[in-house]
Structure 1
Amino acid sequence: MEALKVVTIPNYWTSPKYSLGQRIKQGIIVGIQYRLPNNLLAQSRDGSWQYTVQVSSNSKDKEVEDLQEHEVQPLPTQELHRLLTAEIEAYQRKITVLMQELAEI
């Protein structure tokens, strides 16, 4: 069992709008990094969050892309529901096949 990990964000940072594992239009958020104010890589003078997004669902080719917070496009509720339902059904089919294989042993 994996231990619970807690991340503390300093009070003077803004809170991120999105979270690890969240599905968005561009893919799935797999990393989050805070860019300090006046950093050459930051797009904002106030500091900003940058999200690393896995844009490819192909298990062999895990392409990632870095997005600034203003570039992230959340999924509409209906689209998220459709994606999650399809993923659950795929896993249920996989479980059924594995149970059949186990029964044959």
Structure 2
Amino acid sequence: MQPTISIPKGWEYPRFTLGQRTQQGLIIGMEYKPVNTQLAYQYGHGWRYTVLPDKKSDEIHHYCDDEIQTLSVVQIQAQLQAEIEEHQQQIKVLQQQLAAITGGSADG
């Protein structure tokens, strides 16, 4: 069963989704600031996104809808391919470690 997020009536729908890759980084959180609230007065109403610019960092940034730019399909493909290659390299290292402790080949 897929998790479901309900947006209350009267709220705008977000332009971006959790886990979406953007030019600013990976969206890891979302927060809505309703009109006529102190938070909206302070930060502006609408959605604010928490973005992780680099998955190897603990730094995060917050952006409004109009501050985030989407990636092109080519940019997303390049990011995904780079991640796949990184994971494949990690797998090779783990296989070498396994082979070293078992005394055999773990190239499976």
TM-score by length of 1: 0.81
Give the unaligned 5+ runs of structure 1. Answer: none
The number of aligned residues is 98
- Per-residue CA deviation, residues 54-90 of structure 1 (Å, 9 max, x unaligned), is 1234x3x411111011111111111111111111111
Which residue among 85, 89, 94 is the counterpart of 2:90?
94
Give the 3-state SS of the residue equivalent to 1:52 in structure 2: strand
**Segments of 4+ moved more than 6 angstroms:** none
1:39 aligns with 2:37: yes
Give the unaligned 5+ runs of structure 2. Answer: 102-108
Alpha-carbon contact 1:55-1:62 (below 8 Å) kept: no
Alpha-carbon contact 1:33-1:49 (below 8 Å) kept: yes
- Per-residue CA deviation, residues 3-30 of structure 1 (Å, 9 max, x unaligned), is 9643222132222111111110011111
Percent sequence identity over matched residues?
38
- Equivalent position of 1:62 in the other structure: 58
TM-score by length of 2: 0.79
Give the 3-state SS of the residue equivalent to 1:67 in structure 2: strand
1:16 aligns with 2:19: no
Q: Residue type of the partner of 2:85?
A: E
1:79 aligns with 2:75: yes
RMSD value over aligned CA atoms?
1.8
Structure with the greater alpha carbon radius of gyration: 2
